[in-house]
Amino acid sequence: MSSDTTRSTRPGMWRRALSMLTSSQHDIEAAELQEDVLESGFDPIHGCADRELVQLRGTIRTVTLRPRAGTPALEAELYDGSGTVALVWLGRRRIAGIEPGRGIVVRGRIAVHDDRRVMYNPRYELLPLGE
């Protein structure tokens, strides 16, 4: 390796190390989630368009029961480090394993309403705890 190559890579290493030291815990976790999503071959949420069929992986942040037109609807917010999508299961009050902090893979069609991404009745696979 020439000295020119060594000099050019050192500033990049130092910038990355400094960035990691000055980043918040939230930013570091978001970067790790995004890296996991891309390495696993899943779609990043921030790039999903209206009516697109997608496969997403992330962590459930919140779970709420929000009735829609008098029908129960379980809603969970999925976060992958790049963005969020609301997962809505119509007619459900509870689904075992759907809880904050749980890793999940979902498949379905994205809908965009008022600049908010939503996926209705997605197929899902719960990831093992701690993953």
**Residue-wise pLDDT tens digits, 112-122:** 988 899 999 99
What ranges do the domains of the chain cover?
3-126
As a whole number of angstroms, the distance between CA 26 and CA 46 comes to 17
**Domain 3-126 grouped into CATH 2.40.50.140:** yes
As a whole number of angstroms, the distance between CA 76 and CA 84 comes to 10
pTM of the model: 0.74
**Residue-wise pLDDT tens digits, 72-117:** 999 999 999 899 999 999 999 999 999 999 999 999 999 998 889 9
Confidence of residue 64 (pLDDT cuts 50, 70, 90): very high
**Strands 116-120 and 84-90, bridge-based pairing:** parallel
Q: Is the pLDDT of residue 6 over 70?
A: no
Burial class of residue 22 (count of CB atoms within 10 Å of its CB; 0-12, 13-18, 19+): exposed
